[in-house]
Structure 1
Amino acid sequence: MMPLRVDILSLSIGGEVAQPFEQDVIAIGAFHAFKKGILTVQSAGNRGNTRSAVSSVAPWVLSVGATSTDRHIMDQVLLRNHQTLVGFSINRFETSKHMLPLVYGKGRTFTCSEEEAMSCYPGCLNSPIVKGKIVVCDDFNGKAEAFSAGAFGVLTPIRREVSMVTDQPWTGLDFQNFQTLILYLNSTRFPQAKFLKSKEIRNTSAPLVAPYSSRGPNIIAPSILKPDIVAPGAEILAAYPSQHSSPFYINSGTSMSCPHVSGASAYVKALYTNWSPAALKSALMTTATAMSPSENPEAEFAYGSGLLNPVKATNPGLIYDASEEDYLLFLCQSGYKKDLMVLISGNISYICQKEEEGSSIDVNYPAMQAMVAAEKPYNVTFKRLVTNVGVAGTTTTYTVKVATTKSMEVKVMPNLLTFEAVKEIKSFEVNVVGKGLSSSSQLSGSLLWFDGVHQVRTSIVIYTH
């Protein structure tokens, strides 16, 4: 059999909602890839900050959310009254040198209702009235009808606040700017406007988790934190199919952040060719840059372990490794029966043993998460193994540091780990105790193993349904 010659699978695709593993074709394929030593990196999804929107949920997959970048491209529309509207588009068209008449879809129809015309529904706009003008539509999808009717340009509300490349004069406006536009239309008999050229500005608030990036918690595997990590995903320059006027495109989404993490994974794999997919995943997660829960209200459910840091990932110090057997045990402890486990893993020989102890929270994952009952005291213990991948020939001692809130108490046993050889494995336990959480709440913390050089950070999340 020919070797696959593949180390990383980068999948900028996913479903609308999380599926049970036996129904998730990507999770099934990724498990088989894992068995071949291949890490699957997948987009977390673009369903926004709805709770449990993340669709990539398998522990053997590296799930990637998206953040903003420090560059934002904006478009401007100048009104005749000298007001300037700021829009979300990246124009590649010739901007008009002169003001053009501005018309509202409302009232520009002989065949549709006023509401349909306002939204520029298909077949509703009267072409002689709108031809050569800038048309305002209440619906984002109305731009196709406006251009079909002969409009020079179109202004619509924006679906999400990210700039999109356009081959025609169009700008999407947020709520405030669109309302300013409507007020202007209603204030003058002869409204006019013109498009200005797109320009780049510095986004000083970055990096923040993008509003469209899917959030957790994980509805299929409550003990697995998802997304795992975040990376730049807003207004990313990328190659694009040739049906567009340019071979490059600027796009936004977790489909753009996923390749960043795939590339970093390949970079680390090139340095450590014998590392398993789980080892690569651990290196990326435990070295990620911590993000602020005050600026990202969903905290770990938004950013997972944090922001990708490719340079630090090349020297993680310790890793949480896992094998096929570890994930089979995880499926057993999650209640999966043999027929479904065979469907997911392809392994027909593994049998869940009744005497197997522990729970699914004990899978050797680079994050610690548990769902607990609302309004009740909780006492959760996580068990983990870490492997030394530091400098050979040296004795290294790691000390643990815990960061948490007053609402939960975290104890790590032991609080020192001493390694005398590379590939040496040590175990530890983390006990988390608290008085109780209200429904749909979460508490966040982290532990940091530190040897003076390496900082191995692991997120801790306790939450309620």
Structure 2
Amino acid sequence: MDMERTRLAQLPVDLSIMLVFLEMHMAQQLGLHLKLTWQYTKVCFGPDCPESDILAGLDAAVEDGVDVLSISLGEESTPFYNDNLAVGSFAAVQKGIFVSCAGGNSGPSMQTISNEAPWILTVGASTIDRSIRATAKLGDGQQFDGESVFQPKDFPPTLLLLVYAGSNGKQDSAFCANGSLAGVDVKGKVVLCDRGGGIARLDKGREVKNAGGAAMILANQQSDGFSTSADAHVLPATHVAYSAGLKIKAYTNSTSSPTATILFKGTVIGDPLAPIVASFSSRGPSLATPGILKPDIIGPGVNIIAAWPFPLDGSTNSKLTFNVESGTSMSCPHLSGVAALLKSAHPYWSPAAIKSAIMTTADLVNIKGTSIVDEKLTPADIFATGAGHVNPSKANDPGLVYDIAANDYIPYLCGLGYTDEQVGIIAHKTVHCTSKIPEGQLNYPSFSVTLGSSQTFTRTVTNVGEPVSYYTVKIVEPRGVSISVRPDKLYFTRVGQKATYSVTFTRSSNISNTFSQGYLQWVSRKHTVRSVISVKLI
């Protein structure tokens, strides 16, 4: 079941395509014929998403017996008993329903992640290897690749005069705010606008067009780095990186008659750095539950072809029903689709088992084989990637899973310091907090540790791979931390067999007030089961 805002109330086309290929691939592997049925519930009307409608939508999903809930909604961090999505999704998990939620679009700032409850798969956004290329070409020969969905065939490659909208020293003009270009000579020129200022990218183009501009180059702010979006602009345009914007501005200051044009090159496939974490993808650590690492996973969420119920300004086709969109609202349904396929292939897996399979098999490297990078093209940290980028094929055969029953969350919630009544709101029943556990003792597939003195946590894994198998632990220790695992080998003789191990975290240096990261892997002849680790040294 897919719950999204009105403008995203249809399944992304890329997801449909992905499901077809995954269905074929898994069917070939497993000898199964997988069929998925999608159901949609509208809970948002315009910009408003009433709490009562959200809860009603969740209740309807539980009543209808869906297997997967995809929720591209979210609010700022709040205690779970005040979070309608957390409360409603817990009821779904109690019924065996997998819940996937968008992690939010407030990145790249830290501690901006939404939908932090551990029974939810919290999804961040990454790029795919496709670019809808629009290249800014300057009069001195420099070229800067950018993106735009609008690819006019009749825009001439002739160089036009180039002007920076902020050359008058006014910030509103630099952002190409509504009415800000009235006093700027942009007629017939290529106009360079800065991203941001609370003004939508398409609205900047409208201002340039209304002021008589011929084309627009949209340059990122520093915080956005290299993250660009392919939009259905209202005029010829390209969206370029922050570094490109700086060089274009330097060029405009180097000559009295700067010129530029935009070369539209269509779809380009094969970016070796993909997937890249999107700048907008919200980051951890979690405010509501620091002992649970969030986000859980990243997936395709940039420049995704999606169904679209409104006419596009830059299109001459009034019947066009698709657009290209970016956001964790796009990556969330991709992960929901993966979860649905896993549920089809493994109908008896619990929501936590499916989540574990997705997380412990995720990729840490890109197409090139190097570490996944962020919007600055520097290695992305664990609060951006979570467990890594989803790998559906590997998730289908994880070897081991970390399972959690719905009732196992009760001692965890009590351990957060919630009252019996507050836990009861989440659990939908009367609760007495007679048992409490620290966050780190929840049988989660990752670790988030605040470390002063040494701490020991236990985990239990369930064998879902070969009946007879053994695993050896391998550890990449976070900087300043020593990790010991007991036992360091796990032996299994049957599917469904469980094994428990303990992990002790100890400081190995005097550094403090910093985060470090690593991972723990259980490795067999066939499988690698990875748990990523974040440690805050205090």
Q: TM-score, normalised by structure 2?
A: 0.76
After superposition, give the CA deviation of every residue in 1:67-122 in whole Å (9 maximum; x if it has no partner): 333333331133344443433433332442244444454689xxxx8554454443
1:314 counterpart = 2:396: yes
Within 5 Å, which residues of 2 pair with 1:272-287?
A: 272-287=346-361
Say if 1:81 and 1:35 are closer, same or farther in 2 by CA, change over 3 A. Answer: same
Partner residue in 2 for 1:257: 331
Within 5 Å, which residues of 2 pair with 1:49-68?
A: 49-68=108-127
Partner residue in 2 for 1:164: 230
**253, 256, 263: which one aligns with 1:196:** 263
Partner residue in 2 for 1:87: 146
Say if 1:437 and 1:256 are closer, same or farther in 2 by CA, change over 3 A. Answer: farther
Within 5 Å, which residues of 2 pair with 1:7-26?
A: 7-15=67-75, 17-26=76-85
| Displacement of 1:205 | 2.3
**450, 466, 474: which one aligns with 1:371:** 450
Amino acid of the residue matched to residue 453 of structure 1?
Answer: K
Does the 8 A contact of 1:67 with 1:232 survive in 2?
A: yes
Distance 1:397 1:84 in 2: 54
Say if 1:424 and 1:129 are closer, same or farther in 2 by CA, change over 3 A. Answer: closer
Distance 1:289 1:256 in 2: 19
Distance 1:186 1:410 in 2: 55
Structure 2 residue matching 1:371: 3-state secondary structure: strand
- Greater Cα shift, 283-292 or 217-226: 283-292
1:75 counterpart = 2:134: yes
Partner residue in 1 for 2:49: none
1:346 counterpart = 2:414: no
Q: Give the aligned length.
A: 451
Distance 2:143 2:323 in 1: 26
Does the 8 A contact of 1:444 with 1:459 survive in 2?
A: yes
1:122 counterpart = 2:156: no
1:398 counterpart = 2:471: yes
**195, 206, 215: which one aligns with 1:153:** 215
Distance 1:298 1:106 in 2: 32
Does the 8 A contact of 1:74 with 1:163 survive in 2?
A: no
Partner residue in 1 for 2:499: 426
Does the 8 A contact of 1:331 with 1:341 survive in 2?
A: yes
Partner residue in 1 for 2:296: 228
Amino acid of the residue matched to residue 230 of structure 2?
Answer: M
Distance 2:286 2:524 in 1: 32
Partner residue in 2 for 1:359: 438
Say if 1:190 and 1:273 are closer, same or farther in 2 by CA, change over 3 A. Answer: same
Structure number with higher helix proportion: 2
Does the 8 A contact of 1:293 with 1:299 survive in 2?
A: no
- Greater Cα shift, 149-158 or 6-15: 149-158
After superposition, give the CA deviation of every residue in 1:116-135 in whole Å (9 maximum; x if it has no partner): 44544433434995444433
Say if 1:201 and 1:395 are closer, same or farther in 2 by CA, change over 3 A. Answer: closer
**281, 285, 288: which one aligns with 2:362:** 288
Say if 1:216 and 1:438 are closer, same or farther in 2 by CA, change over 3 A. Answer: farther
Distance 1:313 1:128 in 2: 55
- Greater Cα shift, 39-48 or 57-66: 39-48
**What root-mean-square deviation, in Å, do the aligned CA atoms of Structure 1 and Structure 2 show?**
2.9
Amino acid of the residue matched to residue 434 of structure 1?
Answer: R
1:411 counterpart = 2:484: yes
Say if 1:39 and 1:189 are closer, same or farther in 2 by CA, change over 3 A. Answer: same
Say if 1:424 and 1:104 are closer, same or farther in 2 by CA, change over 3 A. Answer: closer
Does the 8 A contact of 1:88 with 1:158 survive in 2?
A: no
Structure 2 residue matching 1:91: 3-state secondary structure: coil
Query: Which stretches in structure 1 are left out of the alignment for 5+ residues?
Result: none
Partner residue in 2 for 1:266: 340
Does the 8 A contact of 2:277 with 2:372 survive in 1?
A: no
Structure number with higher strand proportion: 1
Question: Which protein shows a greater Rg?
Answer: 1
- Greater Cα shift, 137-146 or 380-389: 137-146
Structure 2 residue matching 1:165: 3-state secondary structure: coil
Distance 1:309 1:434 in 2: 33
Amino acid of the residue matched to residue 532 of structure 2?
Answer: S
Structure 2 residue matching 1:341: 3-state secondary structure: helix
Distance 1:175 1:453 in 2: 43
Partner residue in 1 for 2:244: 177
Distance 1:73 1:130 in 2: 26
Partner residue in 2 for 1:134: 190
| Displacement of 1:223 | 1.2
Does the 8 A contact of 1:127 with 1:149 survive in 2?
A: no
Say if 1:169 and 1:385 are closer, same or farther in 2 by CA, change over 3 A. Answer: same
Partner residue in 2 for 1:337: 419
Distance 1:437 1:208 in 2: 33
After superposition, give the CA deviation of every residue in 1:403-438 in whole Å (9 maximum; x if it has no partner): 325732222222233333322222221112114564
Structure 2 residue matching 1:256: 3-state secondary structure: helix
Partner residue in 2 for 1:450: 523
Amino acid of the residue matched to residue 381 of structure 1?
Answer: T
- Greater Cα shift, 336-345 or 241-250: 241-250
Does the 8 A contact of 1:238 with 1:248 survive in 2?
A: yes
After superposition, give the CA deviation of every residue in 1:278-307 in whole Å (9 maximum; x if it has no partner): 111111111222347795655322211222
Query: Which stretches in structure 2 are left out of the alignment for 5+ residues?
Result: 1-59
